[in-house]
Structure 1
Amino acid sequence: MTAANSAPAPLDRIRVGSAPDSWGVWFPDDPQQVPWERFLDEVSEAGYEWIELGPYGYLPTDPARLTEEVNKRNLKVSAGTVFTALHRGPGVWDSTWEHVSDVAELTQAMGAKHLVVIPSFWRDDKTAEIIEPPELTGEQWAHLTKGMERLGHEVRERFGLDIVVHPHADTHIDTETHVERFLDSTDSDLVNLCLDTGHYAYCGGDSVKLIETFGERIGYLHLKQVDPEILADVVKNEVPFGPAVQRGVMCEPPAGVPALEPVLAAAQRLGVDLFAIVEQDMYPCPPDKPLPIAVRTRKFLRSCGA
């Protein structure tokens, strides 16, 4: 076989980026996290062109300042991120919208078109204490789905952005059953999915199957892998997500699951342009750890054709 025909098929519909998460950033301000300037310097050095905003307030929130900072590093913004608790009903709408509109305004100003929406955790994200039942009632499911449709409508009308809902460990949209129920209960014109390959595997799901079954609902990708041995212990002992991350459950590709080559190939077959943003959860982490991993990960994704 010659070198020419052993190269992977180009994934020309996939736009690869990274995010503050891959630098151990989970909060707007935390002494265990690298300064935002270092993140921007290193994500550019690692060879990425696209970034997400991360937790609102981590990067500068003044659009002119942020534009100057990303432009001088040849970076562009693919999306903003918000957390919502819409399953709690209409009473949380006003506070939710106040937060969402701040993030959406900055996202729009940066030229991005997507808002990644993460459902609220049923555990406390710092103490891991269970604060809500892991299963929603029928009424709560109705609040969640109708609330997301309303959010999708308002965000598009006011900011021209599309929402993509992110199934996430220790939230109410996590397993294959919950993800399919959510998709079956929401309007594809208003709500689509940010498929996070690591979180979906963490919760027992098959990313390729989801792409092939619900392809028209896949609006965005987060790329990450889980270490199957650590995951097995996490599942067996019911370890919360935060402590599981500290154990290294999210690992550097291609060491974990799911294999990213078939996921990317399945996404390419959809025939639409998709962002694929690398997110390797590792909060907290030593400040010198992220850059070498980011460089190797970008090299690996190039070897896949992305």
Structure 2
Amino acid sequence: MTDDRSARPALDRIRVGSAPDSWGVWFPDDPRQVPWERFLDEVSEAGYTWIELGPYGYLPTDPARLTDEVGRRGLKVSAGTVFTSLHRGPSVWDSTWAHVSDVAELTRAMGARHLVVIPSFWRDDKTAEIIEDAELTTEQWGNLARGMERLGHEVRERYGLDIVVHPHADTHIDTREHVERFLDATDSGLVSLCLDTGHYAYCGGDSVRLIEDFGERIGYLHLKQVDPEILADVVKNGIPFGPAVQRGVMCEPPAGVPALEPVLTAAQRLGVDLFAIVEQDMYPCPPDRPLPIAVRTRRFLRSCGA
């Protein structure tokens, strides 16, 4: 009898990592989050090599100190993360760039090449307050597209980084329809996607199909799954993303959807090197919960060939 795993093609173009999000970290400073030292210790213990910076200010922002802290744990940084509201037009550029430049400078100093760009929420992820309309106007779509192109150009010219825009629940880039509209409106040479399998499934999307249809625009992956039963209740009752996470809508693989092995196989077929960073939204969570999940998740991804 042969081991089915031996017949699977090695996913040699996929570089697996994890992120502070998988340790319940959503904010630079929050008493319900684990200290950054513990995150670094445990992500290394779980068997990961690559990490993201997470919310700017959670990990040390001094490049020399952070280089020492990650290096002695055998870790490397794949990306930084920024938050934007570029659909609001040119008036927000200066404040956006002040935030982006700080993160980009640290990201470059850590040897990473990507900035994950998360659009602003229309519904607050902590308070569930409705901030603005869930649908953009034609003018706002234009602002968003031109703003992201400008961001992609400036980040590449000044810092040598590529932006990867993250479709995300409770933002204006969420469903297949909105993702397609965004891709059609932006220059493929300046703007790529960070496909988050959990968020895309949360919003009704098919990750494998998106990879097959828009493979040239996929620059980065976040790996997570959703619990379909909890998601059905979230959709039925219009529950905001933050409370949905507290209900456990983002679950430990392989218990949820989408199945990650077909996603990784589709990504491998693109023939390019891609980061696949595990992010299981768990804010807030007990401090002893993340490590066992991270260990099991890393073992599961190895069973998939990653």
What is the TM-score normalised by the length of structure 1? 0.99
**Superposition pairs for residues 236-275 of structure 1, below 5 Å?**
236-275=236-275
Q: In the alignment, is the contact (CA less than 8 A) between 2:223 and 2:277 conserved in 1? A: yes
SS in 1 for 2:59: coil
Q: Given residue 281 of structure 1, which amino acid in structure 2 is its aligned partner?
A: D
SS in 1 for 2:32: coil
Q: Once the 2 structures are TM-superposed, how far is the Cα of residue 172 of structure 1 from its aligned partner?
A: 0.2
Closer, same or farther in 2 for the Cα pair 1:142/1:35, shift >3 Å? Answer: same
Q: Once the 2 structures are TM-superposed, how far is the Cα of residue 9 of structure 1 from its aligned partner?
A: 1.7
2-side partners of 1:151 and 1:16: how far apart? 26
Closer, same or farther in 2 for the Cα pair 1:202/1:4, shift >3 Å? Answer: closer
Q: Percent identity?
A: 88
1-side partners of 2:99 and 2:270: how far apart? 33
Closer, same or farther in 2 for the Cα pair 1:9/1:93, shift >3 Å? Answer: same
Q: Given residue 222 of structure 1, which amino acid in structure 2 is its aligned partner?
A: H
2-side partners of 1:270 and 1:82: how far apart? 26
Instruction: Show CA shifts across 1:231-279 (max 9, x none).
Output: 0000000000000000000000000000000000000000000000000
Q: Given residue 136 of structure 1, which amino acid in structure 2 is its aligned partner?
A: L
> 1:40 and 2:35 equivalent?
no
Q: In the alignment, is the contact (CA less than 8 A) between 1:46 and 1:291 conserved in 2? A: yes
Partner of 1:133: 133
2-side partners of 1:6 and 1:236: how far apart? 42
Q: Once the 2 structures are TM-superposed, how far is the Cα of residue 124 of structure 1 from its aligned partner?
A: 1.5
Q: Once the 2 structures are TM-superposed, how far is the Cα of residue 108 of structure 1 from its aligned partner?
A: 0.2
2-side partners of 1:8 and 1:228: how far apart? 27
Q: In the alignment, is the contact (CA less than 8 A) between 1:24 and 1:290 conserved in 2? A: yes
Partner of 2:196: 196
Partner of 2:284: 284
What is the TM-score normalised by the length of structure 2? 0.99
1-side partners of 2:36 and 2:5: how far apart? 41
Q: Once the 2 structures are TM-superposed, how far is the Cα of residue 130 of structure 1 from its aligned partner?
A: 0.5
Partner of 2:56: 56
Unaligned runs of 5+ in 1: none
Q: Given residue 75 of structure 2, which amino acid in structure 1 is its aligned partner?
A: L
2-side partners of 1:189 and 1:60: how far apart? 32
Q: In the alignment, is the contact (CA less than 8 A) between 1:227 and 1:249 conserved in 2? A: yes
Q: In the alignment, is the contact (CA less than 8 A) between 1:8 and 1:303 conserved in 2? A: no
1-side partners of 2:249 and 2:229: how far apart? 8
2-side partners of 1:48 and 1:123: how far apart? 33
Q: Given residue 116 of structure 1, which amino acid in structure 2 is its aligned partner?
A: V
SS in 2 for 1:219: strand
Q: In the alignment, is the contact (CA less than 8 A) between 1:223 and 1:279 conserved in 2? A: yes
Partner of 1:226: 226
Instruction: Show CA shifts across 1:165-184 (max 9, x none).
Output: 00000000000000000001
Closer, same or farther in 2 for the Cα pair 1:213/1:133, shift >3 Å? Answer: same
Partner of 1:28: 28
1-side partners of 2:225 and 2:290: how far apart? 15
2-side partners of 1:250 and 1:7: how far apart? 30
Q: Once the 2 structures are TM-superposed, how far is the Cα of residue 136 of structure 1 from its aligned partner?
A: 0.2
Q: In the alignment, is the contact (CA less than 8 A) between 2:125 and 2:240 conserved in 1? A: no
> 1:93 and 2:93 equivalent?
yes
Q: In the alignment, is the contact (CA less than 8 A) between 1:175 and 1:203 conserved in 2? A: yes
2-side partners of 1:5 and 1:33: how far apart? 37
